[in-house]
Amino acid sequence: ILLVVSGGCVCCGFLLNQHYNPAFVSLQMMKHAWDNYKRYAWGLNELKPISKQGHSSNLFGNIQGATIVDALDTLYIMEMKEEFKEAKEWVEKNLDFNVNAEISVFEVNIRFVGGLLSAYYLSGEEVFRKKAVELGEKLLPAFNTPTGIPWALLNIKSGIGRNWPWASGGSSILAEFGTLHLEFVHLSHLSGNPVFAEKVMNIRKVLSRLDKPEGLYPNYLNPSSGQWGQHHVSIGGLGDSFYEYLLKAWLMSDKTDEDGKKMYYDAVQAIETHLIRKSSGGLTYIAEWKGGLLEHKMGHLTCFAGGMFALGADGAPSDKTGHHIELGAEIAKTCHESYDRTRMKLGPEAFRFDGGVEAIATRQNEKYYILRPEVIETYMYMWRLTHDPKYREWGWEAVEALEKHCRVDGGYSGIRDVYNNHESHDDVQQSFFLSETLKYLYLLFSEDDLLPFEHWVFNTEAHPLPVLHKDDGNKEENQK
C-alpha cells in the first residue's frame, strides 16, 4: 500500500519522499533500532540510545540478550535474514540460563520463553525449542507454593521464590501469574512433558473456586493462603494480560477451552457493568476499581483492551458480536484521543477523566511515554477486523511522532513529558519496542494473510504462537 505524505517536517530521510510504503518504513525503523543495539549494546539486555551503551534491568537478573530474544520473530517476519542469522548464532553460543539470577517469572516468560517459542515455530530451528524448554524447566520451582500460585520473583539457581515487597499482603500479581498459560501449554506440547500445562491449569482451578467481588478479579492473590489481597481491579497494569490470556487460551485451543472462554466473557460482563464509563464528551474509558470506588483513570497499558474486545467479538453470544467490536472501536478512539491531545502526539502513561479533563494526564509522573505498543496493537486488531482506513491513518500518525520525537542517532528513546515543547529523552530503548511496537506497525500496514488470526495467537509481548488443533498431538507423539 502507498500513502501520501500529510506534510510537516519529518526527520528521517525515507519519510520525505512524496509516496512511501508504510510497511517498508516500519522495517527501516526496525533496522535503525536493531543496528544501534548491535553497535552499542550487543549481547546486553537493552540499549541506552543517548549514552550509546547497554542498559540492564533487574527484571531479567543477569540473564542477558533480552533485545535479541524479543526481536527474533520480528526480524524473521520482516525478512531481515542476515540479522536473524546473527541473532540465532548469539542464542546458540551465548544464551545461558545457568546463572545465579533472581528474575521476574512473568517478564522472563513473556519475553524469553515467548520469543524463543515463536522463533522456533516460525523458523523450525531446533535450538529455539531446546532453549525454550530448558528455560521453562528453570521456572518450575516458582510454583512451589501451598496453592501452586507462583511467586513473582525466582532465583533460577537456588529455586527460591518470593513476591514483590510492595505487593499487598505478600500477594502474587494477577497479570503476572495469569500470563503464563499460552507459553506453558506450548512448552508441554513441544516437550511432551505435561507438567507445564498442569501448572497453569491449576492456576485456573484456584481462581475459579474463589469468590469474586461483583464478578471481578482483584489484582492481588496470596499464594500461601489462597485469599485475595486488596480489592483493587484494573484492566491496565497488574491485571491486563490475565484477561487477554483467558480469551487467547480459548482461541489457541482451537476454541475447545470452554473454561477459558466462560471466564473471559463473564469477566468482560463484570468489567462492562462496573468499570466501563462514558465521559461527558462521549469518550468510553475503563476506570480502575478500588473496593467499590472508581478511580477515573486509564493507563496506556489498558489501551490493549480495544484490540482484545474486538478479537473476542466472534465468540460472544451472536446478539453481542457487534457490541464487542463497537466497544473495541470506542476504546481505540479514546486512546487515539489520548495521543492527539498531547503536544508530541504520543500517549501518556496514564490519563484521567476527572477535574474537568478528558483523556489527558494531569500528574507529572504520568506524562511519560516509554515506546509502549498497546495503542498501535489495538489499531492493528481494529484494522484487521473492520478494515476501516482510519486505523492505518492513526498508525501512521504514531510513526510520524515516533520519528520526530523518539528517534535519535543511537536508536529510539522514550520521552519524559509528551506535553512539553522539547523532548527530554529517558535514554532507554525498551526491548518491547522491537518485539511489539514495530511488529504491530508492520502488521498494520501488511496484508491480512501475514500471520492470519485463524492460525496464530499473539502472546502479550506480540510473539505469535500457533493455534493447536486437536489432531496436532504433542511433539513426542509426532516423533513416534
Cβ of residue 269: shortest distance to ligand DMJ, in angstroms? 23
Specify whether 374 is catalytic: yes
**Chain residue whose CB lies nearest ligand DMJ:** 460
Which residue is catalytic, options 257, 374, 377, 400? Answer: 374
Give the nearer residue to ligand DMJ in terms of CB position, either 15 or 70.
70
**Does residue 460 bind ligand DMJ (CB under 6 A)?**
yes
Beta bridge partners of 350: 299
Residues contacting ligand DMJ: total by CB under 6 A: 9
**Is residue 432 close enough to count as binding ligand DMJ by CB under 6 A?**
yes
In angstroms, what is the minimal distance from the CB of 179 to ligand DMJ?
Answer: 7
Contact between 241 and ligand DMJ (CB under 6 A)? yes
74 binds ligand DMJ per the rule CB under 6 A: no
Q: Which of 88, 297, 324, 372 binds ligand DMJ (CB under 6 A)?
A: 372
Looking at residues 95 to 114 of the shown chain, list those that interact with ligand DMJ (rule: CB under 6 A). Answer: 110
Catalytic-role residue among 46, 349, 377, 417: 349
267-326: contacts with ligand DMJ (CB under 6 A): 301
Of the pair 15, 108, the CB lying nearest ligand DMJ is at 108
Nearer to ligand DMJ, 171 or 302 (CB): 302
Binding mask 331-350 toward ligand DMJ (x if CB under 6 A, else -) reads --------------------
Active site (annotated) includes residue 79: no
Question: Does residue 248 belong to the site contacting ligand DMJ (CB under 6 A)?
Answer: no
Nearer to ligand DMJ, 15 or 47 (CB): 47
Least distance (Å) between residue 159 CB and ligand DMJ: 25
d(CA 186, CA 457): 12
Report in angstroms how near the CB of residue 57 gets to ligand DMJ at its nearest: 11
Asked if 73 interacts with ligand DMJ (CB under 6 A), we say: no
- Residue 461 within binding range of ligand DMJ, rule CB under 6 A: yes
How near is the Cβ of 432 to ligand DMJ at its closest, in Å?
Answer: 4
Query: Looking at beta carbons only, is 102 or 349 nearer to ligand DMJ?
Result: 349
Q: Are 132 and 113 in contact (CB under 8 A)?
A: yes
Least Å distance between CB 181 and ligand DMJ? 13
On whether 460 is known to bind a ligand per the annotation, the reply is yes
Binding-site positions = 460
Contact positions toward ligand DMJ, by CB under 6 A?
Answer: 110, 241, 301, 372-373, 432, 436, 460-461
Residues serving a catalytic function are 107, 240, 349, 374
Binding-site positions for Ca(2+) = 460
